């Protein structure tokens, strides 16, 4: 097995310039990340362009076989990757965190390799005959965030590679080492130049999004950056899949059992310490069971240890960066300032190393409070009281984003009826945020467009071609 140091030392800076990456839990140095510039990006795109035709010519079976070997490579280095991810991103090794994320990388590679995609006969009536095929796009750009840096990179690159494309990844400037290490491991099993990663700033991402040699951009990140990418991709009419920000609502119906759902509600909101696109970010609870749900959630929250990720006892970690810590602090302060009731947390300890914000539950809060209306992307959940289901649905649909949502009830049939009224790409019943490589995932409204995962996810990485006649 490679060691953590081996993985990092093998990443040679191209331009020579490097940037020190610090552990968000301790402030200690994790390693040096190369600072790639536009010239490095051009070299990566040229290498990808050269490698792509031979890869496309291999066909689906051979490419799927390579993805399965890449999954094996991830599993061989799993513990080292998880330790690096934990130190750079902050998420604990244990719980649904770093080891879980590395495991998901292997699982998504395998599932993407196993998804069948055959040409479809769309008309065959004796007079007309038409088939629908999906051909490689060419070179795909993948631009990702810092919250699940390895898993989201695999979500973007696995279907792109499977469909016969080469990929240039632009890692988040907050978590470059995790993505560099992951790509190095994947490249043990892939042809040279096919998959490269550039570790640069926003300007490198912006150039990738406008570059004439890039046929498609897979983007996961904020809605603001998604809008910038739409603009910069316009000149070349690039294909885009945009997985953007969310502010997911959960609606607890009056017949739900507070104690039975409390732990799943908790992880729906606090997975990755709340730094998850499709986490539960606003919880609407019927007035009949409001106090019981608050009590049950508080009991679960109080029992979940937060701390340095390499300590096996911890299941919650720090915020990944100061900017995010400041956003969460500002929003909780806004709630407190408006007279909302803090059930637990809400007071970060001053003078401690790391960007730790305590697990925070806020009750008796108005729907228009900034902690409800804005995406907190951290460990602070507002719990809003409602009287009628119509009112809850209206509040859930009241924002301009719609990534995920959830309905919690003892009656799944009733819950599905409410789910159908919610404007979101996915509505989960009695769970929140559970993604599956076989099930399409994407946003409604300003949470983005395009689907990832499953056969729809593969089709999104191909150019449809109709053979008519
Ligand atoms: P961000 O938009 O700030 O950055 C994402 C990436 O875009 C980074 O690599 C950055 O360098 C790059 N970038 C910045 N400006 C660019 C430009 N003009 N052109 C091209 N690339 C550019 O997002 P973030 O802060 O890293 O991530 C947090 C956000 O991402 C949250 O809003 C969260 O909800 C969202 N997110 C969404 C999903 C999803 O699947 N929908 C998943 C994870 C995170």
In this predicted model, what pLDDT tens digit does every residue of 228-241 receive, in sequence order?
Answer: 999 999 999 999 99
Model pLDDT, residue 3: 46
The answer to whether 133 and 458 have CB atoms below 8 angstroms apart is no
In this predicted model, what pLDDT tens digit does every residue of 335-367 receive, in sequence order?
Answer: 999 999 999 999 999 888 999 999 999 999 999
Instruction: Tell whether 152 and 295 lie within a shared domain.
Output: no
* Res. 215: pLDDT tops 70: yes
Q: What is the CA radius of gyration of the chain?
A: 22
Instruction: Tell whether 233 and 281 lie within a shared domain.
Output: no
403 lines ligand 1 (CB under 6 A): yes
Tokens linked to 152: 């989201």
Whole-structure pTM over 0.85, yes or no? Answer: yes
Q: Is 366 part of a structural domain of the chain?
A: yes
- φ, ψ for residue 137, nearest 5 deg: -80, -40
Q: Is 19 part of a structural domain of the chain?
A: yes
Closest ligand 1 atom to 443 CA:
41
- pLDDT band (50, 70, 90) for residue 380: very high
In this predicted model, what pLDDT tens digit does every residue of 298-309 receive, in sequence order?
Answer: 999 999 999 999
Q: CB within 8 A of 5, min separation 6: which ones?
A: none
In this predicted model, what pLDDT tens digit does every residue of 131-183 receive, in sequence order?
Answer: 999 999 999 999 999 999 999 999 999 999 999 999 999 999 999 999 999 99
Q: Is 386 part of a structural domain of the chain?
A: yes
Instruction: Tell whether 202 and 257 lie within a shared domain.
Output: no
Q: Is 442 part of a structural domain of the chain?
A: no
Model pLDDT, residue 358: 98
Instruction: Tell whether 105 and 223 lie within a shared domain.
Output: yes
- Mode of pairing for the β-strands spanning 139-143 and 239-243: unpaired
Q: Can 243 be counted among the known catalytic residues? A: yes
Compute the average pLDDT of residues 368-396.
98
- Mode of pairing for the β-strands spanning 139-143 and 216-220: parallel
* Cβ neighbours, 10 Å, residue 463: 16
Model pLDDT, residue 351: 82
Query: How far is ligand 1, taken at its centre, from the CA of residue 18, in Å?
Result: 22
Model pLDDT, residue 147: 98
* Res. 4: pLDDT tops 80: no
Instruction: Tell whether 135 and 262 lie within a shared domain.
Output: no
Domain residue limits at 228:
4-244+447-468
Report the candidate in 346, 383, 165 with the shortest Cα–Cα distance to residue 261. Answer: 383
Q: Is 20 part of a structural domain of the chain?
A: yes
- pLDDT band (50, 70, 90) for residue 2: very low
Q: State which of 176, 222, 226, 331 you would mutate to test the pocket of ligand 1, scoring each by most atoms of that ligand within 8 A of its C-beta.
A: 222
Q: State which of 36, 170, 209, 221 you would mutate to test the pocket of ligand 1, scoring each by most atoms of that ligand within 8 A of its C-beta.
A: 221
Report the candidate in 264, 320, 325 with the shortest Cα–Cα distance to residue 297. Answer: 264
Q: Is 155 part of a structural domain of the chain?
A: yes
Alpha carbon distance, N-terminus to C-terminus of the chain: 54
For the residues of 4-73, what is the DSSP string, one character each? Answer: HHHHHHT---SSS-EEEEE-TTT--EEEEEE---HHHHHHHHHHHHHHHHHHHHHHHHHHHHHHHHHHHH
Whichever domain contains 101, its CATH number is 3.40.605.10
Tokens linked to 267: 């992880």
* Res. 368: pLDDT tops 60: yes
435-441's contacts with Cβ under 8 Å and 24+ in sequence apart are: 435/278, 437/107, 437/108, 437/111, 437/112, 438/111, 438/115, 441/243, 441/278
Model pLDDT, residue 8: 52
Compute the average pLDDT of residues 18-28.
96
The answer to whether 449 and 427 have CB atoms below 8 angstroms apart is no
Rounded distance between C-alpha atoms, residue 251 and residue 405, angstroms? 8
Instruction: Tell whether 284 and 344 lie within a shared domain.
Output: yes
Quote the number of domains for the chain. 2
Q: In angstroms, how far apart are the furthest CA atoms of the chain?
A: 77
Compute the average pLDDT of residues 13-32.
88
| Residue among 101, 243, 375, 452 flagged as catalytic | 243
Q: Is 187 part of a structural domain of the chain?
A: yes
- pLDDT band (50, 70, 90) for residue 445: very high
Nearest CA to ligand 1 atom 21: 205
Rounded distance between C-alpha atoms, residue 379 and residue 361, angstroms? 8
Instruction: Tell whether 263 and 335 lie within a shared domain.
Output: yes
Report the candidate in 87, 75, 123 with the shortest Cα–Cα distance to residue 4. Answer: 87
Compute the average pLDDT of residues 421-441.
98
Query: How far is ligand 1, taken at its centre, from the CA of residue 128, in Å?
Result: 46
Q: Is 441 part of a structural domain of the chain?
A: no
Vertex 216 angle, CA 212 and 218, to 5°: 130
- Mean of per-residue pLDDT scores for the chain: 96
Query: How far is ligand 1, taken at its centre, from the CA of residue 257, in Å?
Result: 37
Whichever domain contains 270, its CATH number is 3.40.309.10
Nearest CA to ligand 1 atom 8: 172
The size of the chain, in residues, is 469
Instruction: Tell whether 201 and 52 lie within a shared domain.
Output: yes
Model pLDDT, residue 15: 61
Query: How far is ligand 1, taken at its centre, from the CA of residue 385, in Å?
Result: 32
Instruction: Tell whether 195 and 257 lie within a shared domain.
Output: no
Instruction: Tell whether 457 and 405 lie within a shared domain.
Output: no
Q: Which run of H or of E encompasses 414?
A: helix 412-419
- φ, ψ for residue 281, nearest 5 deg: -115, -10
SS3 label, residue 283: strand
Instruction: Tell whether 118 and 163 lie within a shared domain.
Output: yes
* Cβ neighbours, 10 Å, residue 126: 6
- pLDDT band (50, 70, 90) for residue 10: very low
Model pLDDT, residue 12: 53
Question: Which tops the pLDDT comparison, 125 or 352?
Answer: 125
Instruction: Tell whether 282 and 331 lie within a shared domain.
Output: yes
């Amino acid at each position: 097995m490679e060691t953590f140091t081996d993985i990092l030392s093998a990443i040679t800076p191209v331009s020579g310039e490097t940037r020190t990456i610090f552990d968000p839990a301790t402030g200690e140095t994790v390693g040096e990340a190369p600072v790639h510039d536009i010239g490095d990006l051009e070299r990566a795109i040229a290498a990808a362009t050269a490698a792509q035709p031979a890869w496309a010519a291999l066909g689906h079976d051979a490419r799927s076989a390579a993805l399965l070997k890449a999954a094996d490579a991830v599993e061989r280095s799993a513990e080292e990757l998880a330790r690096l991810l934990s130190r750079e991103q902050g998420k604990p090794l244990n719980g649904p965190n770093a080891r879980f994320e590395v495991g998901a990388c292997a699982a998504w590679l395998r599932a993407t390799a196993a998804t069948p995609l055959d040409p479809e006969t769309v008309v065959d009536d004796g007079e007309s005959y038409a088939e629908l095929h999906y051909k490689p796009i060419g070179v795909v750009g993948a631009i990702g965030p810092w919250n699940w840096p390895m898993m989201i990179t695999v979500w973007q690159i696995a279907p792109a590679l499977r469909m016969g494309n080469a990929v240039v990844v632009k890692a988040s400037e907050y978590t470059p080492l995790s993505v560099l290490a992951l790509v190095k491991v994947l490249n043990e099993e892939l042809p040279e130049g096919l998959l490269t990663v550039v570790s640069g700033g926003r300007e490198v991402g912006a150039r990738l999004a406008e570059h004439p040699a890039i046929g498609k951009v897979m983007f996961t990140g904020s809605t603001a950056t998604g809008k910038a990418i739409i603009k910069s991709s316009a000149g070349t009419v690039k294909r885009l899949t945009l997985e953007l920000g969310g502010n997911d609502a959960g609606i607890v119906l009056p017949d739900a059992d507070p104690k039975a759902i409390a732990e799943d509600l908790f992880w729906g909101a606090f997975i990755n310490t709340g730094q998850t696109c499709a986490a539960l970010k606003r919880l609407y609870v019927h007035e009949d069971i409001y106090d019981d749900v608050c009590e049950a959630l508080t009991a679960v929250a109080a029992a979940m240890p937060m701390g340095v990720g390499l300590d096996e006892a911890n299941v919650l970690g720090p915020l990944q960066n100061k900017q995010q810590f400041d956003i969460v602090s500002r929003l909780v302060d806004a709630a407190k300032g408006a007279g909302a009731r803090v059930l637990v947390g809400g007071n970060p300890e001053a003078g401690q190393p790391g960007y730790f914000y305590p697990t925070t539950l806020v009750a008796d809060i108005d729907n228009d409070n900034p902690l409800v209306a804005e995406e907190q992307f951290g460990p602070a959940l507002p719990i809003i009281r409602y009287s009628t289901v119509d009112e809850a649905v209206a509040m859930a649909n009241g924002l301009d984003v719609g990534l995920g949502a959830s309905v919690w009830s003892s009656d799944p049939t009733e819950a599905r009826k409410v789910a159908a009224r919610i404007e979101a790409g996915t509505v989960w019943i009695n769970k929140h945020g559970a993604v599956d490589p076989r099930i399409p995932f994407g946003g409604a409204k300003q949470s983005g467009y395009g689907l990832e995962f499953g056969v729809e996810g593969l089709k999104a990485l191909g150019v449809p071609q109709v053979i008519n006649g």
